[in-house]
A and B are shown apart, each in its own frame.
Chain A
């Protein structure tokens, strides 16, 4: 690989410094988001070709949103202290006693994710405001993460679609992962601004 790099430099006529500047500059170039209509076109074509299936709800999912909020509030008092003392708050549940309700373990894992997500939201709010001047690549990355979270939120709150607890847990897990990325980036940004 070093030989190849040297070969390229000789052929392409750039010094190592010039090439570094070029690579850095390329990395800094702003990214562009496609118009919203692009997804609609993709979705329409995919449906027409039978590439995707949309699950239709049998009943409104609002019950779950209300239940989730209530569960998150309860858990923030009862479960969070326990989660904070364990290395991985998304640790799979242990088998419940025979007398426990059948859906109890699923609810617990899901609720843990909800609480963790809520905690990350709180961490994010605690960070200083975004600086007025930001690098283009940072803006693009922040925007991408926020878009992805918004998309997940949309799916979680969509009233026309039924989700199983497993599906819901999957989406909440992804939301937590994205929130962690967002907090990490915003924290690094805040650190840099502070100095």
Chain B
């Protein structure tokens, strides 16, 4: 489901980037700018912060791409960097507010997601978008890491400096907030999905 996995870059371009070729880096940036920025924006909700995270991510890619051996897909490698930078940012933000990773549920009242103009059927992506935006940062981040980026609870716990159980419980709480809008009713878009997956 992760958009990162769908993006393929010619290995020769990666090799050129490893030698510092600015044109090769421009191609890599063009290919990955949207998933990196979208992920950052999804986590932080603040465009200026997402821009900072995207900048740090691509600078890190430039610093480290010579170490990329191609054992994993480039997209997975870049996703790791982006997630790491985004979580680092969130940690610093939480630290600045003297909050722990676990206690931001108090910032959002339980009824927020359901009362935010959410219809009973998510045929409009904006409904889910709004519901996600109303989740606390930790819950939203874990939903995204687990359900979109495909990380396991163990990996999420490790990345956040917490336990596997922490990830599971946070996901559970997030699901409870989202549940009112999760009535099964969706269009058949198999053909277009297949085409998107094949790219």
Contacts and interface: CB of A to CB of B under 8 A. Distances in A.
Contact of A25 (B26, B30, B125, B153): B125
B80 interface: no
Q: Is the interface of A mostly helix, strand, loop or mixed?
A: helix
Interface string B131-171: 01000000000011001100011000000000000001101
B70 interface: no
A33 to B, nearest CB: 5
B26 A12 contact: no
A125 interface: no
Interface residues of A, number: 68
A136 B125 contact: yes
B105 interface: no
Contact of A24 (B6, B186, B198): B186
A18 B122 CA distance: 11
A184 interface: yes
Interface string B18-62: 011111011101110111111001000001001100110011001
B109 interface: no
B111 interface: no
A121 interface: no
Given A34-B51, A54-B22, A135-B192, 14 more contacts: A8-B171, A12-B168, A12-B171, A22-B175, A24-B122, A26-B128, A29-B129, A32-B41, A43-B22, A46-B22, A52-B20, A148-B30, A173-B12, A177-B10
A144 B31 contact: yes
B179 interface: yes
Contacts of A155: 23, 26-27
A62 interface: no
A34 B33 contact: yes
A170 B1 contact: no
Nearest to A186: B195
Contacts of A14: 175, 179, 182
Contacts of A143: 34
18 contacts: A19-B182, A21-B185, A25-B128, A26-B144, A27-B148, A29-B125, A32-B38, A33-B33, A35-B47, A41-B51, A42-B55, A140-B34, A141-B199, A144-B34, A184-B199, A185-B195, A187-B195, A189-B195
B191 A192 contact: yes
A22 B29 contact: no
Contacts of A22: 128, 147, 175, 178, 182
Interface residues of B, number: 69
Interface-central residue, B3, B33, B54, B191, by most chain A CB under 10 Å = B33
A130 interface: no
B34 A12 contact: no
Contacts of A170: 10, 12-13, 16
Interface string A28-54: 111111110111011101100101111
A107 interface: no
Interface in A175-190: 177, 181, 184-185, 187-189
A145 interface: yes
B199 A151 contact: no
A3 interface: no
A135 B196 CA distance: 11
Contacts of B98: none
Contacts of B179: 13-14, 18
Given A25-B125, A184-B195, A192-B192, A151 B58 contact: no
B142 to A, nearest CB: 11
Top 7 nearest A-B pairs by Cβ distance?
A188-B195, A34-B37, A18-B182, A151-B30, A17-B184, A25-B128, A52-B22
